[in-house]
Every structure is written in structure tokens, then in C-alpha cells.
Structure 1
Amino acid sequence: MTSTPTPDQKLVDAAEGGISAALADLGRLVRIPGIAWPAFDQDQLVRSAEAIAQLARDTGVFDEVRIHRAAIPGTDEVGQPGILATRAARNGRPTVMLYAHHDVQPPGDDALWETPPFEPTVRDGRLYGRGAADDKAGVMAHIASLRALQETIGSDLDLGIVLYIEGEEEFGSRSFTQFLEDNAEAMRSDVIVVADSGNWDSETPAVTVSLRGNAKFHLKVRTLDHASHSGMFGGAIPDAMLATIKLLSTLWNDNGSVAVAGLTVRDAETPQYDEATLRAETGLLDGVTPIGDGTILSRIWNKPSITVTGIDHTSVAAASNTLSPEVTVVVSARIAPGQDATAAYEAIKAHLEAHNTFGAQLTFGEVDCGDGFLVDTSGWAVEAARDAMRDGYGKDPVDYGVGGSIPFIADLVQRYPGAQILVTGVEDPHARAHSPNESLHLDTFRHAVISETLLLGRMNARQD
């Protein structure tokens, strides 16, 4: 005698059955090099947006699907194309917003990729390609879940759904606040699922409960009004590179922890995580020691960090015996959850001005600040997400902190203060997002799709 499948089992079966098609569509999206940096072909972002809009329409879920560009506040420019698909809630059901982004990081040095960055390649249970994990996999996790929902529930689908796929997250979400302003009512939601984070490992899901903020800026250091011969004047005048090195070195203590007064630390416990795991997940070379103090995860989740991510100076190939008049660097700081990012930037700026040993001319510009985020875990949606992950992965989820930043979440909270925020993702620690050989663990993707399908299906049945 054959038993009738439960509603949950129907959802799981539909999600499982759609994985192959979802991965095929993901591969097609990976082939589109949609990068929001102006130096890259912007038509590719239009191609990407159009492809995703069609995927959304094809689900049969939405009342309306459109591509929208919003103005960039304070400029005459408009942002990159985002996809907004909406379905009104019925019969008193809640509305859920599903967020991901379709723009990707530049590929970097092609020579460092084992396979071409925009040619999706499967090997050893992973799909390789730029955006395969961050965040086109997030896009396809949403699409695949909606397909499964439509297949199993169909005309009985009462859940309100907003699908928002951003087009410039990797480039600072410059038009995000205006996009929210332009579409405030259409995007109003009770629950917001942000699929742009990670998991504890490839088998263990995570609910992200804290995110660091960020403060990035350009610093120009100038000591001379023209270049001079290093042999003739070296030893008497500080060139810009010397002044820059001396100045930047004051940002860190000898152990690599941040030495800037005014940057705060969040006091919170962290799970067990040892140095061997850190080495395995990051590729830290033999003999190179980790930096900072306290538990390893407290350094990543709860403390500030400062990294110099770019420098304008003479290349090695063009080096000559010259005292450089100016150097420009990009300083990227991560801010502990709970600290105002603008206040953190001002603290770093004040530190650099106070430690300007040789009196160099310092110019600060291109300032970009975004606040961190602490999730309120007391709401029903967080518990529903944990239950869905437990059933979708077959393992208890971990409450997870993230060292990176998703500043637009603070904008969502400000716009929709009553919404419950769920930060999830399809990445595992070996995804290498932003790096050469970025990849998606295929089984993690499958579990993520099942989990989201269960979450949405159960929300559709929820009676408040």
C-alpha cells in the first residue's frame, strides 16, 4: 500500500527534481560577464538582467516582472539594472522578499584561473566560474525554489512574494536607497531573505546573525611637487612612498591587530574554530602566522580589520631611481557590528592625521561607509528558517557571524523596520568568492534549494 506524500515531501521532491535545470540555467548566467565597474562592458549587465527577468516570468508565480534603474543620489547617473518581480499576498498570508544580486566581481588575472572565469566548469563536485557562488547561485536558489513552489502548490499559492535581484552590489549598491524609495510599496515585506552569505561548511547550514560594517576610502600622500633623483636627494627628503609606508604601518599593532583608537569591539562568544581549519580554508602558507588576538572567529566576526586593497605607484616593470612625489592607496576597513561606520571612518582619518610623521599632505576621498548588522533572532521567521535548514540539510544550523559586509541590509531595516531579516547563502568556506577559481559546492546548492522551498511552502501554509 502506497502512502500519500506529505506536503513537505512534495516540496522536497519538486525541489530535488528541479536541480539539474537550475544548474543548467546557472551555467548560462555564469557565461554572462556582468560587472558593474565602468571599465567593463555594461551591456553585459543588461543581458544578465534580461535573462533573469525571463527566468522570473517563466516561473508563472508573479503578477509583474520588470527591469528598473534608479538614480544614484547626488549624481546625474543612474544605477545598474535590477529585476523586480512582485506577487500580491492573498488570504492574509505574509509577504516575503527574496534578494540576491546578478553583478559579479571582475575576474582578476585570467592566468590564475584553472579554467576560464566565464566558462562554467564542473569538477570534483563543484561548479567553477565567476559568479557561480557569489551570487548567481543565490539568484538560482530563489528561482529554483519558486519553480518547486509553483509545481506543488500552484493556484493555492497565497504567499506574497517580492523577488529583487540587484545589479550593482559588488560596486557599492550606489542606487540601492533610491531603488527602495522608487519602489517602497511594491517591495514592502514581512520577511526578507537575503541569499548572499555562507554556511559553516559544505554540509552544515548557517543563519547569519551578525555582519561587520565597512569604511573604504582613498588616501593620497604627497611630499614633493615633482619627482627627483633618488641618488641625489635620497636620505634628506621623504618621498611619498616612504611617508606612506611609515604612516600606514601605524594602523596595526605588532601582532596585526588594529591600533586605531575609537574603533570598537563586539563582546560575543564564538564557536570553536582552530588554526588548522583557518589554514585549510584560506590557504595560509606554511610558516605564516595568523594575526590579531582573541579567538580566531572573534577576530573575523566581532573586531575591526584594516586592509590596503589598492595602490597607485610606479610598477615594478617601470621602476627607476626616482623619489616619488605622491602615492594613492585604497584603505578598506571592516567595522565591528554595532559601531556606526561613519564614526569609524572619522576615527581612522583622525589617527592617520595624528601619525603623519613627516608632515606629508594627506587627501581623503572616495569615502564609502556602510553600517554592520545584528539580526533580531526572536521572531518566528528565524525559527522557521532554522527548521527548514535542519530538514533541508539534515543537520542543525549554526548561528553564524560574517566578517564581510552587506551594508544595504541596514537600508532595508530603516525602510522596513517591522520586517524580519534572514541572511542565508549557498557558499561554503571553499567557495573563494571574489578570488580566482570561485566555485559552488553542488550538494550545498541542492540542500539550500530544498531548505528555501520548505521555508516558502510552510510560510504559505502559515496562519497568523
Structure 2
Amino acid sequence: MTDLAAVVRDLMPTVRADLERLVRIPSIAFPGYPPEPVADAAQATVGILTAAGAPAELLEVPGAPPAVWAQIDGPPDAPTVLMYAHYDVQPAGDPEAWDSPPYEPTERAGRLYGRGTADDKCGVAVISGALRAFGGQPPVTVKIVIEGEEETGGGTFMSYVAEHPDRFAADVVVVADGGNWKVGEPTLTTTLRGLCVVDVVVETLEGPAHSGLYGGAAPDALIALSRMLATLHDEQGDVAVEGLARSTWEGRPVQDEVLRASGRVLDGVSLIGSGSLAERLYTRPSITAIGMDVPGTAGATNAIVPRATARLSARLAPQEDPSRAQQAIIDHLLRVAPWGVRVTCTPGETASGAVLAADGPGADAARRAMARAYGKEAVAVGSGGAIPLCVTLAQVLPDADIVLWGACDDAAQIHAANESVDLGDLERATLAQALLLTELASSA
């Protein structure tokens, strides 16, 4: 342990340089952005892994950016570990919202700032650092896949995995796209909520009508839609749609003050729902109106609104069937529509949740590795966010333990301005990744 920790410590300037190299590339795979930086990031990832001792190559994925693939064979009886991260990133958004340029990695107070520092180019750096710790010869068979379209939610790479299960077969899958609940606090994510989206359109009139001449008799579509949306939750704020799955949570609890601070809840505003905060966040459904198409206040006229649209995003219990939940929400909206208004519901994106390795040899080895790297026992948390690839891997590799962890933390501000990673946790995560391989090798 002492030798490996010292090796990783000496490697950290190289690990950081690998991360900074990737952060400088605006590898945004969304439509409308130039494809060249995505290709550049893929090539840079090949170079980083090759320098770490892995014979990396581009893996062409039809209809999607290339993935990066490498395999290092270990001793004949050693277990196989599949390591995953992604090199694509979210758009930076308004550059004025950043305290330093988003694609110029900048250190402040022990954190490295820049788009992708936490989500998920640090995952690539952690994997390369773990390989470097063994001089490119880890004590187990290692497969590495670095994806190029995770942020877009396109699903093309997931289909590729499902169609080529033998390529990705492993005893343990390590997904370096998670993080710690707080800096220095080792954390395994053991559940993921699912997702479904519904667009609802309410129509009442053929066109706008003067509110003075027809108001009080002709129904307003925005008011009707608002009444419908209000029925999605009860007085406590719990989801009121019948039939949606719920489950209990036995991992680390969530503290009220921590949630309020990390969620930037305004003073005096109550948290919603009943039961433990962890269950509300990890194992129960939530419904959010993430967008509406209605007249804006600028230039508003005294007219009854004839048409209003809302997009609803529901997070679902890990075991929920997202298509079934989507239909339950649609049925609810149709049932509560007032005044005979016309309602059109269109199902959108879905993603299944997952229950990941909470026990088993892979999870046990991960806990031992984190305890040694961080100097304290790991805790289990859930995630309200969906990682669809984890679900695909769980389906095609039913006997594999899936370990979800990473160098991210509650201050990382992923997908927002001033994204960052704590450099101390980057080192600890790299050490944990390396120690996991020794733990798996010794327990084989």
C-alpha cells in the first residue's frame, strides 16, 4: 500500500497533465457543434492511454463519435475488469458566467476548474493514472472503453454494447463517472433512478380571444394546464400519480442542511415531500416541469391563451419500468383535465434505473480499496441522475459487479459554470482505482 500510494503521488503531475490536455479540447458531441474537437479528444485519449501502457485504438461506433478501446491481458487465472469513462462534455454555456475560461484549466484553492474536469475527463485521467501505477502491467486483465456521446443521450453506444456483449464481458465493471458525496468522503453509488419525459399540450380556442369580451366564459389554456400540473403533487409535495414504484433506502442518510446548501434552496423555502430525504432523492419518483411554451410577459396582451405546452421530466425509482411510468403520467393528465379542454400528450425520452453492486466480491473489493486510499470507510449513496450505460451493462453482463465511483464531489458543479475537481480527491480516486486491481487480484 505504501509503495503504491507513493507511486501514485509521484505520478500526479502526469495525471493532471493528462486531464488538462483533455479539458483544453471542447469535445461537445451535440448536434450543431463542430465534430473536429470531438475527434481530437478521441485521438488525445488514445495517446494518453497508449502512454500509460495500454494499446489503445479508436472503436468505430456507427452513427456516433468513436469510442476508445484498449485491452491488457493479465495472468491466465486473473479476473477481468472493464473500466469506463467518457471524453465528451456538456456545452460551456455563457462564458461570462465562468470565473476563468472554460477550456483553460485553472487551479484555485486546490481545485482544477474547466469544462470536463469532473464530468468526466477526470475519469480518463484516473484510469490512465492507475495503469501508470503498474507500469502498464496491471495484475488483472483490464479492458478499457472511453465513450464519446454520453452527454448527448443518443444511445448509439449503448446499442453497440448490447450488440457486442462478448467484447465487454468482465467480472467487474468500474464506471468512473460518479463521485463522493463530499470531498475526502469515499462513496459508492449503488442505485440510479430512471427517467421519462412527457410533453403535454392543452388547447381551448382556435386563436386568442379578448379577455374583456370572453373572459369568465371562454377557458384559458394556460390556466387549465396549470390546474393539471398542480395535481401531480399532493399538499406535502409527494408525487400524486397513482401506481408509480417506490422503495426504501438503507444507505447513507442525507442531511437537511447539506441538501439545502448544495441545492442552493432559498432561505424560508421548505423542502417538499415526506419520508427520509435519501428516499425522496434516490428511490422515489419526482416530477418537474422543465419547460413551458406560453406567451411571455414582454409584449403580453389582454387575450385568453388558446394553447399552452409543458414538458415534464420524471425521475423514477430504480426498479421502475419507465414506459409504464410514462403511461401512468399521461393517464393522470388526461383524467384531471378540466372543462373538456383538448389534451395531447407525447411521450419523450426514457431511461431505466438500476441497482448496482451493493455487495459481492467487486463491491467488497472496492470498499477495501477506498478505505485504504481515503483512510476511512466508504458509504453508499444513490443517484437521482440516470446513467443509461450502467443499465445496459447490467443487462448484458448480469453476473458482473458494477462499481460506480469517481473523483467528483458536491462542489463540482457539473453541467454548470465553474465546473471543477478537487485535486486531492483526484489523487485518492486514482489510488483507489489502482488498489481495486490489487484487491481483485489477491482475492481471485
Matches within 5 A, 1:219-258: 219-258=200-239
**Distance across 2 between alignment mates of 1:40 and 1:321:** 40
**Distance across 1 between alignment mates of 2:54 and 2:187:** 28
Task: Judge which range, 259-268 or 363-372, deviates more.
Answer: 363-372
Conserved in 2, the CA contact under 8 Å of 1:36 and 1:168?
Answer: yes
Residues 67-119 of structure 1 show CA distances to partners (whole Å, capped at 9, x for unaligned) of: 3223xxxxxxx123322222344412111111112222233333333333333
State the 1:308 CA deviation.
1.6
State yes or no: 1:458 paired with 2:443: no
Conserved in 1, the CA contact under 8 Å of 2:251 and 2:379?
Answer: no
Q: 1:363 to 1:27 in 2, by over 3 A?
A: farther
Counterpart residue identity of residue 180, structure 1: V
Matches within 5 A, 1:56-67: 56-62=49-55, 64-67=56-59
Matches within 5 A, 1:189-338: 189-317=170-298, 319-338=300-319
What secondary structure does 1:207 align onto? strand
**Distance across 2 between alignment mates of 1:300 and 1:463:** 35
State yes or no: 1:174 paired with 2:167: no
State the match for 2:127 in structure 1.
142
State the match for 1:73 in structure 2.
none
**Distance across 2 between alignment mates of 1:25 and 1:227:** 58
Counterpart residue identity of residue 111, structure 1: E
**Distance across 2 between alignment mates of 1:181 and 1:361:** 40
Conserved in 1, the CA contact under 8 Å of 2:54 and 2:70?
Answer: no
Residues 312-360 of structure 1 show CA distances to partners (whole Å, capped at 9, x for unaligned) of: 3444445444444333332111111222222111111111111111333
What secondary structure does 2:70 align onto? strand
State the 1:389 CA deviation.
0.3
State the match for 1:68 in structure 2.
60
Q: Which runs of 5+ in 2 are unaligned?
A: none
Residue in structure 2 matching 1:17, options 1, 10, 18: 10
State the 1:32 CA deviation.
2.1
Q: How many residues align?
A: 444
State the match for 1:4 in structure 2.
none
State yes or no: 1:384 paired with 2:369: no
Task: Judge which range, 21-30 or 292-301, deviates more.
Answer: 21-30
**Distance across 1 between alignment mates of 2:363 and 2:182:** 20
Conserved in 2, the CA contact under 8 Å of 1:11 and 1:457?
Answer: no
Q: 1:18 to 1:352 in 2, by over 3 A?
A: same
State the 1:11 CA deviation.
2.1
**Distance across 1 between alignment mates of 2:75 and 2:240:** 54
Counterpart residue identity of residue 271, structure 2: P
Conserved in 2, the CA contact under 8 Å of 1:61 and 1:150?
Answer: no
Task: Judge which range, 284-293 or 157-166, deviates more.
Answer: 157-166
**Distance across 2 between alignment mates of 1:413 and 1:101:** 18
Conserved in 2, the CA contact under 8 Å of 1:388 and 1:455?
Answer: yes
State the 1:383 CA deviation.
0.8
Q: 1:326 to 1:128 in 2, by over 3 A?
A: farther
Q: 1:327 to 1:144 in 2, by over 3 A?
A: farther
Residue in structure 1 matching 2:377, options 387, 396, 403: 396
**Distance across 1 between alignment mates of 2:200 and 2:178:** 30
What secondary structure does 2:272 align onto? coil
Conserved in 2, the CA contact under 8 Å of 1:68 and 1:84?
Answer: no
State yes or no: 1:362 paired with 2:343: yes
Q: Which runs of 5+ in 1 are unaligned?
A: 1-7, 71-77
Conserved in 1, the CA contact under 8 Å of 2:42 and 2:58?
Answer: no
Q: 1:239 to 1:193 in 2, by over 3 A?
A: same
**Distance across 1 between alignment mates of 2:202 and 2:155:** 27
State the match for 1:85 in structure 2.
70
**Distance across 2 between alignment mates of 1:114 and 1:180:** 39
Conserved in 1, the CA contact under 8 Å of 2:67 and 2:148?
Answer: yes
Counterpart residue identity of residue 305, structure 1: S
Residues 425-449 of structure 1 show CA distances to partners (whole Å, capped at 9, x for unaligned) of: 2111111222222221121111111
Question: Normalising by structure 2, what TM-score?
Answer: 0.93
Conserved in 1, the CA contact under 8 Å of 2:326 and 2:347?
Answer: no
**Distance across 2 between alignment mates of 1:118 and 1:217:** 34
State the 1:66 CA deviation.
1.6
**Distance across 1 between alignment mates of 2:92 and 2:79:** 39
State the match for 1:40 in structure 2.
33
Question: Normalising by structure 1, what TM-score?
Answer: 0.89
Q: 1:91 to 1:131 in 2, by over 3 A?
A: same
The two structures, once aligned, show a CA RMSD in angstroms of 2.2
